[in-house]
Amino acid sequence: DIGSGPYDYLQIDAAVNRGNSGGPSFDLDGKVIGMNTAIFSPSGGNVGIAFAVPAVLVKQVVSELQSHGSVDRGWLGVVIQNVSDDIADSIGLPEAKGAMVTKVAEDGPAAKQDVKAGDVIVEVNGDKIDDSRDLARKIAELHPNTDVKLAIVRYGKEHQVNMKLGTFPSGKKLAALEDDKPADSGSEQLDNLGLSLAPAVKVPGAGEDGVVITDVDPNSDAADKGLKAGDIILQVAGETVSQPGDVAKGVKKAMDNANDKDKVNVLVQVKTGDQTRFIALSLKKAKV
């Protein structure tokens, strides 16, 4: 996975330099096994790490281009992430499998169905989903307007969603990420998460949705998992939040529902810039 499309790439050690992209990759018998696509390089030149599109995929793409003039892939209209062990524990999944929805595109196919941020897609047409990469591949292999049946787990309860795939967008407009750190304005501490919080509406530049993190305890699980001042909490334990008190209620809900009271994970949806993700935060144990 090199972060370019839903398909896997071959890692090769051929000397691929600028201008070689698009050329063939051969094996020792002279057979074409792929098409040079990208390199990893701190300097911009060859360091022996390159990537090629597998030949079998090249054949498929060329065939579609010859027949239709374009390559159309199926599209759910969701942004997804992997399910960690902590996340699985926080929502009642027996194992860390499936793909968690972090965002639903407003104009996408999933927005017209019962699919929400925080849902975990565990099956497509009866085939189990291992992780987000697996889901992306399975959907991309299907054509637009294909009917699919999704098995979705929402906080421990599974249900089915029948829907029709859309067409994968030809391009994406990436919003510029703002790095401005909001000022601490009327923040409240939530010690068991290691966070200080404030309503987003009270923090300049934060917008109106959610609760802004104004400070993070460097010794907390939140710090270990990359949360920082300026991040915005949108959901806690499946509930939308707008006040620090809402976060505290979500924490209490997670504690009440936890099977193991000594290990409580709270599922939190966090927005950083224009990107959203889910994180399972471990509560601090009370000092005795």
Of 153, 37, 168, 56, nearest to 96 by C-alpha is 153
Say which residues have a Cβ less than 8 Å from residue 242's Cβ, sequence separation at least 6.
199, 200, 201, 209, 210, 211
Task: Say what the pLDDT of residue 73 is.
Answer: 84
Per-residue confidence band for 191, with pLDDT thresholds at 50, 70 and 90: low
In this structure, how many other beta carbons lie within 10 angstroms of the beta carbon of residue 29? 6
Q: What is the mean pLDDT of residues 69-97?
A: 87
The closest of 287, 266, 286, 268 to 277, measured between CA atoms, is 268
d(CA 242, CA 12): 49
Residue 99's pLDDT is what?
A: 92
pLDDT tens-place string over residues 138-181: 998 888 899 999 999 988 889 999 999 998 776 543 222 223 33
How far apart (Å, rounded) are the C-alpha atoms in residues 255 and 265?
A: 8
Which residue has better confidence, 201 or 58?
58
- Which of the two residues, 237 and 175, has the higher pLDDT score? 237
d(CA 265, CA 284): 10
**pLDDT per residue over 93-142, tens digit each?**
889 999 999 888 888 899 999 898 889 999 999 999 999 888 988 998 88
Average pLDDT over residues 66-80: 86
**pLDDT at residue 170 in the model:** 60
Measure the CA–CA gap between 281 and 215, rounded to whole angstroms: 16
Report percent pLDDT > 90 for the chain: 24
Quickly state the pLDDT bin for 184 (edges 50, 70, 90): very low
Q: Is 55 helix (H, G, I), strand (E, B) or coil?
A: helix
pLDDT score at 207: 61
The predicted model gives 221-230 an average pLDDT of 87
Which pLDDT tens digit goes with each residue over 43-65? 777 788 889 999 998 998 899 89
